[in-house]
């Protein structure tokens, strides 16, 4: 009897240790960013649904790992889950980069159709790396932040231009600007020190980085609607009890739906915040738009030249819809 009691106590100890999991989750953007807030809610929902059996600790703003390493550390199992900017993986396969190509998908409707075509392809590519996508959420369409009005592409020539991925670097180069890679949390400092003097990003990131402190004009060129993605290490996920796995999947589905709504609400609301803080909002001139579309057309040719069959099938599916 005594022996039995000891054995069950041990068994209980083992069981409760296996039941309570804490996952560290690195993310690239700051706490004021709607993506981070959406992820915080995702974590809360999982903790509540599993009675604390899975607690996710969010490490925002690149505080646990730099943005460029987040995919690799989830892949290696150093952390079980993480968020990153999807098109950063474009060097693995062009399929990851299609949402950052100018003028392919410029509205939320387009972005949703593009994601429907892209999701099965990138799910397979990530699975080959031992990763499973949980949910993906778009940023508001990307606009132009400058000092003074930009009437034509020529006005961008020579500007030190903040960039966040390979596509934006190519875009800036084709506009004869000088791209400089800067992570979102470092934007204010990069402008303050003169490292950069213009950028393309969403109204959300413009507001989160108090763009009115260093630029005067915002031009909503709305050229692409890029996404973040949250991925989980497949082995770490499979180790979870089945009911916890189900709670993660259902919180992920809710987070994707909520994130798209938050993004759409931010597009107008944060543009208004830019205006309320004194920025001049200028609709792009026909000439500027035409010039940017030419750059986009050339970029898409380059993208296609580097695209796998699977990547090209995304475009075919999307354009055929």
Q: What is the 3-state secondary structure (H, E, C) of the chain?
A: CHHHHHHHHHHHHHHHHHHCEEEEEECCCCCCCHHHHHHHHHHHHHHHHCCCCEEEEEECCCCCCCHHHHHHHHHHCCCCEEEEEHHHHHHCCHHHHHHHCCCCCCCHHHHHHHHHHHHHHHHHHHHCCCEEEEEEEECCCCEEEECCCCCCHHHHCCCEEEECCHHHHHHHHHCCCEEEECCHHHHHHHHHCCCCCEEEECHHHHHHCCHHHCCCEEECCCCCCCEEEEEEEHHHHHCCCHHHHHHHHHHHHHHHHHHHHHHHHHHHHHHHHHHHCCCEECCCCHHHHHHHHHHHHHHHHHHHHCCCHHHHHHHHHHHHC
Cβ proximity to ligand PCA: between 38 and 201 the closer is 201
- The candidate with the shortest Cα–Cα distance to 220, out of 137, 143, 106, is 143
Cβ proximity to ligand PCA: between 85 and 161 the closer is 85
Cβ proximity to ligand PCA: between 84 and 303 the closer is 84
Nearest residue (beta carbon) to ligand PCA: 202
Least CB distance to ligand PCA at residue 201 (A): 4
Cβ proximity to ligand PCA: between 234 and 266 the closer is 266
Least CB distance to ligand PCA at residue 84 (A): 10
Cβ proximity to ligand PCA: between 166 and 312 the closer is 166
Least CB distance to ligand PCA at residue 12 (A): 47
Residues that bind ligand PCA (CB under 6 A): 85, 139, 164, 184, 201-202, 204-205, 226
Least CB distance to ligand PCA at residue 38 (A): 14
Cβ proximity to ligand PCA: between 42 and 85 the closer is 85
Cβ proximity to ligand PCA: between 162 and 217 the closer is 162
Least CB distance to ligand PCA at residue 258 (A): 18
Least CB distance to ligand PCA at residue 267 (A): 10
Q: Is the dihedral of CA 76, 81, 82, 85 positive or negative?
A: positive
């Amino acid at each position: 009897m005594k022996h039995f009691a000891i054995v069950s106590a041990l068994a209980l100890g083992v069981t409760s240790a296996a039941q309570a999991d804490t996952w560290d989750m690195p993310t690239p953007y700051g706490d004021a960013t709607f993506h981070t807030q959406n992820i915080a809610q995702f974590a809360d929902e999982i903790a509540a649904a599993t009675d604390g059996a899975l607690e996710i600790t969010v490490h925002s703003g690149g505080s646990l790992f730099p943005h460029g390493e987040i995919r690799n550390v989830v892949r290696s199992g150093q952390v079980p889950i993480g968020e990153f900017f999807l098109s950063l993986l474009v060097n693995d396969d062009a399929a990851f980069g299609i949402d950052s190509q100018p003028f392919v998908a410029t509205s939320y409707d387009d972005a949703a159709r593009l994601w429907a075509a892209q999701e099965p392809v990138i799910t397979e590519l990530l699975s080959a790396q031992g990763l499973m996508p949980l949910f993906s959420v778009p940023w508001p369409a990307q606009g132009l932040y400058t000092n003074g009005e930009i009437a034509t592409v020529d006005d961008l020539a020579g500007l030190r231009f903040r960039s966040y991925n390979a596509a934006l670097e190519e875009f800036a180069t084709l506009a004869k600007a000088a791209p400089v890679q800067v992570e979102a949390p470092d934007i204010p400092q990069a402008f303050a020190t003169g490292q950069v003097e213009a950028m393309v990003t969403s109204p959300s990131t413009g507001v989160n980085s108090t763009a009115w402190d260093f630029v005067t004009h915002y031009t909503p060129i709305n050229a692409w609607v890029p996404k973040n993605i949250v991925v989980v290490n497949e082995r770490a996920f499979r180790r979870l009890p089945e009911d916890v796995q189900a709670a993660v999947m259902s919180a992920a589905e809710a987070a994707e739906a909520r994130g798209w709504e938050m993004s759409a609400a931010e597009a107008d609301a944060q543009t208004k915040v830019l205006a309320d803080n004194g920025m001049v909002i200028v609709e792009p001139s026909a000439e500027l738009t035409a010039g940017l579309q030419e750059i986009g057309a050339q970029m898409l040719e380059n993208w296609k030249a580097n695209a796998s069959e699977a990547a090209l099938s995304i475009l075919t599916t999307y354009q055929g819809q």
